[in-house]
Structure 1
Amino acid sequence: MNNMYGWILGVAIMGFVALMPNTAEAHCDTLDGPVVTAAQQALDSKDINRVLPFIPKNGEPELKEAFAKVLAARTGGKSAQEVADRYFFETTVRIHRAGEGAAFTGLQPAGMDFGPALPASEKAIQTGSLTELNQIMAHELAEVLELRLHKIQELKARTPAGDVDAVRKLTSEELQFQIFVHELYEKIREGGAENSHQSEKEPRREHSH
């Protein structure tokens, strides 16, 4: 059981290092990403609550105003609807990105390949199962560590014991490997601590019957 928890913690770091912030943020900018998908659902259902969870509280007034204008514009025919929808998508993503403290650089096309981790994380959220995500992340982590260690072993095999410069290079590689592993470990612990602290900060909600 401890080994399983170790794998779960170990693979979790890859999401922080490999995906955040650039790739994950770019994912939110795509036409088939979660933000635009929610915006489309809001327009189709005429229910802005479908997309508000993706928007910071202070961005709600602007989005609600845009939503009302777009709903009215959508009645002007197919071309008008396409232009209005695009405007709403851009507005939604821009406000979403502003809430993250990031600049909006335009909508990105659908179908972009971000690798298997993001789709697997979405599936985990939908199904409540980490099985597939753990497998993907564990594989990536093991591969990275194996490649780095293999490089050290190859260098060690051709490093003469009395050659100070060669030993210095080997020592540097060994230290970099140790630092890399340590930073992964620390990042895992930081991620867990952040979630724990966030839970402690959240006020308890009284249940009403």
Structure 2
Amino acid sequence: MTYLRLPLRKTLLALATSSALALVFAAPALAHCDALDGPVISEARIALNSGDVTPVLKWVPAVDEARISSTFEKVLEVRQNGGSARELADQQFFAELVEIHRASEDAPFTGIKPAGAIDPAVQLADKALDEGEIDTFLARIVEKFEQNARSAFEATLAAKQQAGNDPERGREFVDHYVNYVHYLEDVHKVIAGNSGHSH
């Protein structure tokens, strides 16, 4: 692998990281807050097992604190029955909590997603926070960006050199060109602040 000069690499690191994080967290297909092993439900389990609703209140707007606290108390009562009742009560609490959280972000609630559905990049982002160190994550992001950008560039350059006056080869070049330019354009828009967080 041919490495970029250090100053350019540092610039790309910042650009690629911002791009990757924004695109990862914006993608609707990547379950996170609504996944069984996501941060919201993970903290909900802790709250239920400790009997203290406080850890989950940060995931909902202040206006919904009373609603969640009320549901939490009811769930704690039902959980004392054990077995299926406990399981159903937990699921009800998870669903209500996640629904309120997603509504606060103007995102639809489509049900709780199974564990294991979280995108690897999101897992690494969470792991970095848990470990208090982001260098490993950044290195993987910039490496992936370099690979993608180089691959698109090389394919486009090769197609351009073969395009000539042949319409079919010209169209192949255009296909590569559109992919190449749009990829870099999307990254640039993110780093320039033209892409917001959404679900």
Q: 1:153 and 2:157 equivalent?
A: yes
* Aligned partner letter, 1:41: I
CA contact (8 A) 1:42 1:51 kept: yes
CA distance in 1, matches of 2:171, 2:27: 35
* Structure with the largest fraction of helix: 1
* Aligned partner letter, 2:184: V
SS at match of 2:68: helix
Give CA deviations for 1:116-151 in whole Å, capped at 9, x if unaligned. 211110111122211111122112211221221122
C-alpha displacement of 1:107: 1.0
Q: 1:97 and 2:102 equivalent?
A: yes
Return structure 1 stretches of 4+ with deviation > 4 angstroms.
Answer: 162-169
Q: 1:108 and 2:117 equivalent?
A: no
CA distance in 2, matches of 1:33, 1:73: 24
CA contact (8 A) 2:35 2:118 kept: no
Paired residues for 1:56-67 under 5 Å? 56-67=61-72
Which of 54, 73, 77 lines up with 1:68 in the alignment? 73
Specify the alignment match of 2:187 in structure 1: 184
- TM (norm. structure 1) is 0.79
CA distance in 1, matches of 2:18, 2:77: 45
Unaligned 5+ segments in structure 2 are: 1-5
* Aligned partner letter, 2:63: N
Count of residue pairs brought into register by the alignment: 191
SS at match of 1:104: coil
CA contact (8 A) 1:30 1:110 kept: yes
* Aligned partner letter, 1:117: A
Specify the alignment match of 1:86 in structure 2: 91
CA distance in 1, matches of 2:69, 2:40: 15
CA distance in 2, matches of 1:168, 1:135: 36
Paired residues for 1:122-161 under 5 Å? 122-160=126-164
Cα gap change, 1:155 to 1:57, in 2 (>3 Å): same
CA contact (8 A) 2:19 2:190 kept: yes
The answer to which of 104-113 and 166-175 deviates more is 166-175
CA distance in 1, matches of 2:103, 2:178: 39
CA distance in 2, matches of 1:175, 1:40: 46
C-alpha displacement of 1:172: 7.1
Specify the alignment match of 1:14 in structure 2: 20
Specify the alignment match of 1:201 in structure 2: none
SS at match of 1:47: coil
CA contact (8 A) 2:24 2:121 kept: no
Specify the alignment match of 1:51 in structure 2: 56
Percent of pairs with identical residues: 28
Specify the alignment match of 1:200 in structure 2: none
CA distance in 1, matches of 2:33, 2:28: 10
CA distance in 2, matches of 1:101, 1:141: 30
**Quick one: higher RCO (CA 8 Å, sep 6+), 1 or 2?**
2
